[in-house]
Amino acid sequence: MKVKANGLQIEVDDSGADGSQNERPVVLLIMGLGMQLIGWPDYFVQPLVDAGFRVIRHDNRDIGLSQGFEHTGQRSIVWQSIRQKIGLRVQSAYSLQDMANDALGVLDALGVQKAHIVGASMGGMIAQRVAATAPQRVLSLTSIMSSSGARGLPGPRPEVARGLFSRPTSRDEDALVDFSVKFVNLIGSPAYPNEPAALARRVRTGIRRAYRPDGLVRQMLAIGADNQRPTVLANIKSPTLVIHGDADKLVPIECGHDTARRIPGSRFVSVPGMGHDLSPKLSDVLMGHIIPFLRGPA
């Protein structure tokens, strides 16, 4: 369903609401760069629902079925990368704070006052912004395979950077599926590999739902422009769990360590053999950390 959030039409999925006065505690899931709400697969969502939570997912602006920003045009990511390297600010159509306000707008539209905020990759960055700027709305923060964005942190491995900036050879559906599957396998978790046919089906479902590469570029520029987040993280007061894999080739584990160091009182969990994905078996491992954290002290 679509809701009006922060002045935009945002696509939302709402699972586990029981309709009673004793509403279940809410978990808001925020997905990463270029990923749709179905990037949080059902095998990730259902354990949270079974554990007694209401789970809300949404397509970030410019991706999936949410409102786009085609009217802003497209800036050259190469030129913006050069600006960043020489110390100039990256120019972007919108900011990660705007996207954090979208997430808060989703909660407003659904009448939710407070929620546990869980974000993966860029979604973790947005979740950090939510926790830092709207602490009264946040029951807890879980930042997965994300980063503080501080200068000097390691970036993607060269082969991953090449894959991130490459493009499919055509817009034929099979070519798009093949391209995306190869990239997921490149950054995936060596200890928790995806089953090939199931991964291809998930990728194909996503492409058929929406394919918006220009939105991905605009989101990438929003990440590059967010150069103040490292200092903002000290303002987070919510209980915080930072999870990162030691085999992450896209956002190296040093980024997770830095995030945890900057958030007072946070807890850091390193997952051996985890890369930059949410494969089924890895999801089971993550739930073993996330659900007890969301429930709080016994």
Q: Is the pLDDT of residue 134 over 60?
A: yes
Distance of CA 187 to the CA centre of its chain: 15
Backbone angles phi, psi at 125, to 5 degrees: -65, -45
Q: What is the pTM of this model?
A: 0.93
pLDDT averaged over the chain? 92
Instruction: Give the per-residue SS3 of 260-294.
Output: HHHCCCCEEEEECCCCCCCCHHHHHHHHHHHHHHH
Q: Is the pLDDT of residue 114 over 50?
A: yes
The yes-or-no verdict on residue 88 having pLDDT over 90 is: no
Q: Which DSSP letter does residue 44 get?
A: H
Position 282 confidence tier, pLDDT thresholds 50, 70, 90 = very high
Confidence band of 78 (pLDDT split at 50, 70, 90): low
Residues in the chain: 298
**Residue 51 pLDDT exceeds 90:** yes
Q: Which residues of 59-84 are buried (b: 16+ CB within 10 A; e: fewer)?
A: bbbbbbbbbbbeeeeebeeeebeebb
The HSE-up count of residue 160 (CA atoms within 13 Å, CB side) is: 17
